[in-house]
Amino acid sequence: MLYFLQSIDQFGVQQKLQIPPINPTQKSVFGGLVTLTLYSISLGYFLFQFVDWQQNNKLPKVTSLQQQINVEQKLKLQGVFAEISYFQELSHQIDPFDPQNMILQPLLVSSSSYYDQTPINATFQYRKTQEGKTQNKLLIEDIVISNSPISSQDHKYTNYQLTFTYCNPELLQDGQKCANQDLINKYFQQDNYFQILIYLEQFDPRNKQITKIPKFFVFEMMQKSYFQNMFTLKSGDLIMDDGFLFPNSNQQTYLSDLSVLTTQFDQEYAQKAYGQDIIAVLYFNLDQVKTVNMVEYPKISEILADTGSIISWILSISFIVSKYNENLSNDKAQKDIITMYYHDFNDFIIQKNWMGQIKKVNYKGKDYDLKKSIEILNKLDSIAIKKMNYLNLQNEVAKLQLILQEHLGIQQIKKYLQSQYKLESLFDKLGIPDINYQSSLNQILPQIDEQLVQNLQIQPEIINDPANNKDKTLLLELEERMEILDLQVHQNPTTSIYSSFQFPQKIND
């Protein structure tokens, strides 16, 4: 089991010899400059992509589908859903929704599948325009419209109906008055239009929010006509995934679109259908089809993948630098090998162009024939390349072995290779205190008379001579045994490590 765990270890570290002067990797200033430039560009590109992603500037993947509504689809419209007002672009100033002279009275009711009709008080808003005109608005806000598939057994729905009838004093709210007949006659003598502003909703991918977009409609009003406008609202389901690394889905429902169908009837039809004169009716219901939008934002993994592919392409330029360092390393190694045999090779000045072709050879001010010089240098380079071959290194080691065998003999080499010293014996001699010797010395010393010592003119240090001699002998032995661990190689490129080695005479001499 331990062997299996050791075999699958992916974090192994290569053992390196602690020899600081040796530099196993060829590096150059040009390579360092290119490395700094490439990594700076890569880091800058990653930061740009990351910030751009955090600001939601990356377009999400959007998939849109048309589906039938659920068993009971509800659409909650919070805030202002619609604004109805008189079309102010006309030159006439008689506003039928003026609360002090009201000509047309809006009635808003909600109807459901249970045939219930609930009146809803219309909310009026008054504001001054830049031209100083007063604009009266009817607001429809905070409504919930619903529907269910027609094929369902229990068909449920909630619709809204906005009816414009003539002003009825019994239905007036506080602060409202009906207009007199003269004003009503003047009103219908002019061209009359009313406008409706419906706020659709749309998903903003940058802010990840539902925003409202107004859609503008204009409808005509005539005294002897009845206009029926059917507004079919379409709901939209938003399924948004904006997870950082893992999916994180959020679902919302909003008003995505609407369609309008306008039909014109006469007042006789209005009297028959509603029992009174009606100018216009607005119906609001929910469509049987809804839009499903699935929005998926890029995750950090996609940003890293995109950035990694670009950075890999950028770092491919490093191949040029690697080849440059490889050629530089080969040239340096060849030069060192040639210098081992010809020490004055460093004094030659060899000029090359950017393609590596030799253009000039000079030595201490003397210019040599270019063609002949190139032949000599190429020959030297080919020999140096052969010297760097691994098989050639083995051949050189074999030659050294033969030389040592010739000078020392096989038996002497075996003797040098066999080490009979043990670390235990060294510690036994130096690490364990000699208790018997120390105790015997302490017993003898008190019995010696001091006067006798003075008469014999014996120095006190002489008494300790046996211990000193023993310590010196052990220290000398320690130095001899440790000598092999204290070999030093002088870093002189022109001096061989064997320059100070002296071969002993052959045994047979």
Note whether 245 and 370 are same-domain residues.
no
Note whether 247 and 322 are same-domain residues.
no
User: Does residue 197 register a pLDDT over 80?
Assistant: yes
Q: What separation, in Å, do the N-terminal and C-terminal C-alpha atoms of the chain show?
A: 59
Note whether 196 and 279 are same-domain residues.
yes
pLDDT tens for each residue of 97-111: 888 888 988 889 998
pTM score above 0.85: no
HEC readout, 391-411: HHHHHHHHHHHHHHHHHHCHH
Note whether 232 and 377 are same-domain residues.
no
Please tell me the predicted confidence (pLDDT) of residue 504. 42
Q: Residue 95: what residue type?
A: D
Q: How many residues does the chain have?
A: 509
DSSP string, 440-492: HHHHHGGGS-HHHHHHTT--HHHHTHHHHHHHHHHHHHHHHHHGGGG------
Position 6 in a domain: no
Please tell me the predicted confidence (pLDDT) of residue 201. 92
Position 429 in a domain: no
User: Does residue 79 register a pLDDT over 70?
Assistant: yes
Selected residue with higher pLDDT from 271 and 17: 271
Note whether 253 and 371 are same-domain residues.
no
For the ranges 309-313, 335-339, 454-458, the lowest mean pLDDT is seen at 454-458
Note whether 219 and 247 are same-domain residues.
yes
Q: How confident is the model at residue 487 (pLDDT cuts 50, 70, 90)?
A: very low
**pLDDT (mean) for 250-255:** 92
pLDDT tens for each residue of 342-389: 888 888 888 888 777 888 889 888 888 888 888 888 898 888 888 888
Please tell me the predicted confidence (pLDDT) of residue 438. 52
Position 497 in a domain: no
Note whether 142 and 289 are same-domain residues.
yes
Please tell me the predicted confidence (pLDDT) of residue 501. 41
Q: What does the alpha-carbon distance between residue 287 and residue 444 come to, in Å, rounded to a whole number?
A: 121
Q: What does the alpha-carbon distance between residue 448 and residue 463 come to, in Å, rounded to a whole number?
A: 11
pLDDT tens for each residue of 431-458: 666 555 555 445 544 444 444 444 444 4
Phi, psi of 361 (to 5 degrees): -130, 125
Note whether 161 and 200 are same-domain residues.
yes
pLDDT tens for each residue of 51-67: 988 888 888 888 899 99
Note whether 164 and 227 are same-domain residues.
yes
Position 213 in a domain: yes
pLDDT tens for each residue of 219-229: 888 888 889 99
3-state secondary structure of 125: strand
**pLDDT (mean) for 486-499:** 42
Helix ranges (H only) for 248-389 are: 267-274, 300-315, 318-341, 370-387
HEC readout, 40-64: HHHHHHHHHHHHHHHCCCCCCEEEE
Query: Is 232 in contact with 259 (CB distance < 8 Å)?
Result: yes
Residue whose C-alpha is closest to residue 124's, from 146, 103, 109, 141: 141
**pLDDT (mean) for 278-290:** 92
Note whether 238 and 362 are same-domain residues.
no
Range of the domain at 475: 435-480
- Name the DSSP letter for residue 39: H
Average pLDDT, the chain: 79
Phi, psi of 220 (to 5 degrees): -90, 150
Position 155 in a domain: yes
Phi, psi of 69 (to 5 degrees): -65, 165
Note whether 174 and 219 are same-domain residues.
yes
Phi, psi of 394 (to 5 degrees): -65, -35
Position 245 in a domain: yes
Given 267, 284, 315, which residue is the final one in a domain? 315
Given 229, 261, 296, which residue is the final one in a domain? 296
Question: Which long-range contacts does 208-213 make (Cβ < 8 Å, 24+ apart)?
Answer: 208/56, 208/240, 208/242, 210/238, 210/252, 210/254, 212/79
Given 315, 345, 363, which residue is the final one in a domain? 315
Helix (H) or strand (E) holding 7: helix 2-7
User: Does residue 259 register a pLDDT over 90?
Assistant: yes
Q: Tell me the sheet residues that pair with 124.
A: 138
Note whether 310 and 220 are same-domain residues.
no
Q: How confident is the model at residue 213 (pLDDT cuts 50, 70, 90)?
A: very high
User: Percent of the chain at pLDDT above 90?
Assistant: 17
Residue whose C-alpha is closest to residue 76's, from 146, 4, 3, 180: 146
Q: What residue has token string 């009174």?
A: 276
pLDDT tens for each residue of 14-24: 655 544 445 56
* Overall number of domains in the chain: 4
pLDDT tens for each residue of 393-424: 888 888 888 888 888 888 887 777 776 666 67
Q: How confident is the model at residue 496 (pLDDT cuts 50, 70, 90)?
A: very low
Position 218 in a domain: yes
- Name the DSSP letter for residue 506: P
For the ranges 231-240, 329-338, 453-462, the lowest mean pLDDT is seen at 453-462
Please tell me the predicted confidence (pLDDT) of residue 394. 84
Cα-based angle 257, 261, 264 (whole degrees, multiple of 5):
155
Burial letters for 444-459: b for 16+ Cβ neighbours within 10 Å, e otherwise? Answer: eeeeeeeeeeeeeeee
Position 417 in a domain: no
